[in-house]
């Protein structure tokens, strides 16, 4: 049996060894915790996941980021009252006439090779005279053109082929004006002409009509208006195959165009050219020169010229 003196030093050594073991373990634990809690642990991995994609924004705050204000000029919102707005094709009205591939350059509202739509009415044409002031005529296949298409007497003398819905047709010459409220496209036919299309009791019928260039052996005639002289004159052309666009009088080596009235006379207010050579131009641009027409008021003086048929 060991003596006590030998037991006490053994317990001291055991205690010392236990304390050393605990101290070492504590040291290891602290070192482990320090290593585990180091702020730069896996630093490269953290930075890689936090690097933003180009063009995006990263917010350090959990709140919703504010949008970056745009520096571009605001785009105005179009309104229905904008004057530059383009109308919808559906709202664009279609013309009431069928345009032709080619038209006369000097024609007014009534173009050749164009079909117009309207209505026909009838009136008592009497002796065939009217606003065009051609005078009485034995041929009562005449018509009054509506105010708009009459165009201040530009329609005077035009020959028009009129067709009814049922297929009947008649050719008339424009000698009169149908005042408002006659609508564009409307023709007021003599009773004799209307009867070729329908019974007079119909009163008003739908029609189509187009300009004609008739075949005729007649020539153009010239008439000076009442009161004409060397100081003032009114000149009228009668019997032209195609609508007349201009009437000019000779002035020296040139020509002077006369203004046209709504009663179908061309006036020279100061007498220039009265009694001299005349030049007539139709809507196709053809020109006829007439010489030797004396100033004889109200006398119809025939010439030897006529426009070409188209």
| Distance in angstroms (rounded) separating the CA atoms of residues 145 and 172 | 11
Report the pLDDT value the prediction gives residue 104, as an integer from 0 to 100.
Answer: 76
H helix or E strand, kind and range, residue 169: strand 169-178
Report the pLDDT value the prediction gives residue 103, as an integer from 0 to 100.
Answer: 56
| Contact predicate 303/220, CB 8 Å | yes
Tally the C-alpha atoms within 13 A of residue 290's C-alpha that lie toward its C-beta. 27
DSSP symbols for 244-302: EEEEEEEETTEEEEPEEPTTS-EEETT-TTTTS-EEEEETT--EEEE------BT-EEE
| Distance in angstroms (rounded) separating the CA atoms of residues 57 and 296 | 99
Report the pLDDT value the prediction gives residue 105, as an integer from 0 to 100.
Answer: 85
Helix intervals (H) in the chain: 4-36, 43-50, 147-150, 191-194
Q: Please give the model's pTM, rounded to 2 decimal places.
A: 0.68
Report the pLDDT value the prediction gives residue 77, as an integer from 0 to 100.
Answer: 33
| Contact predicate 263/271, CB 8 Å | no
Report the pLDDT value the prediction gives residue 33, as an integer from 0 to 100.
Answer: 43
Q: What is the pLDDT along the chain (310 residues), one digit of tens a residue?
A: 444 433 444 344 444 443 444 444 555 444 444 444 444 443 333 333 333 333 333 333 333 333 333 333 333 333 333 233 333 333 333 334 444 444 578 999 999 999 999 999 999 999 999 999 999 999 999 999 999 999 999 999 999 999 999 999 999 999 999 999 999 999 999 999 999 999 999 999 999 999 999 998 999 999 999 999 999 999 999 999 999 999 999 999 999 999 999 999 999 999 999 999 999 999 999 999 999 999 999 999 999 999 999 9
């Amino acid at each position: 049996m060991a003596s006590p003196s030998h037991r006490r030093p053994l317990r001291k050594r055991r205690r010392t060894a236990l304390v050393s073991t605990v101290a070492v373990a504590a040291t290891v634990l602290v070192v482990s915790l320090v290593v585990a809690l180091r702020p730069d642990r896996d630093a490269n991995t953290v930075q890689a996941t936090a690097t933003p994609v180009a063009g995006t924004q990263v917010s350090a705050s959990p709140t919703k980021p504010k949008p970056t204000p745009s520096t571009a000029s605001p785009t105005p919102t179009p309104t229905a009252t904008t004057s530059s707005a383009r109308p919808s094709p559906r709202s664009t009205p279609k013309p009431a006439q069928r345009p032709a591939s080619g038209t006369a350059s000097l024609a007014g509202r009534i173009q050749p090779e164009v079909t117009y739509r309207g209505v026909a009415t009838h009136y008592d044409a009497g002796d065939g005279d009217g606003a065009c002031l051609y005078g009485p005529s034995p041929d009562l296949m005449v018509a009054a053109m509506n105010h708009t298409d009459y165009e201040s007497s530009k329609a005077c003398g035009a020959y028009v082929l009129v067709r009814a819905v049922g297929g009947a047709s008649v050719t008339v010459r424009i000698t009169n004006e149908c005042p408002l409220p006659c609508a564009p496209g409307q023709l007021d036919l003599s009773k004799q002409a209307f009867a070729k299309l329908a019974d007079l009791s119909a009163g008003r019928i739908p029609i189509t009509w187009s300009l004609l260039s008739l075949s005729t052996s007649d020539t153009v005639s010239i008439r000076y208006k009442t009161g004409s002289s060397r100081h003032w004159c009114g000149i009228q052309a009668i019997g032209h195959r195609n609508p007349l666009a201009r009437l000019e009088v000779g002035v020296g080596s040139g020509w002077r165009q006369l203004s046209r009235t709504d009663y179908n006379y061309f006036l020279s207010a100061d007498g220039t050219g009265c009694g001299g050579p005349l030049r007539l131009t139709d809507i196709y641009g053809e020109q006829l020169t007439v010489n030797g027409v004396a100033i004889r008021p109200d006398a119809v003086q025939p010439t030897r010229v006529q426009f070409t048929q188209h």
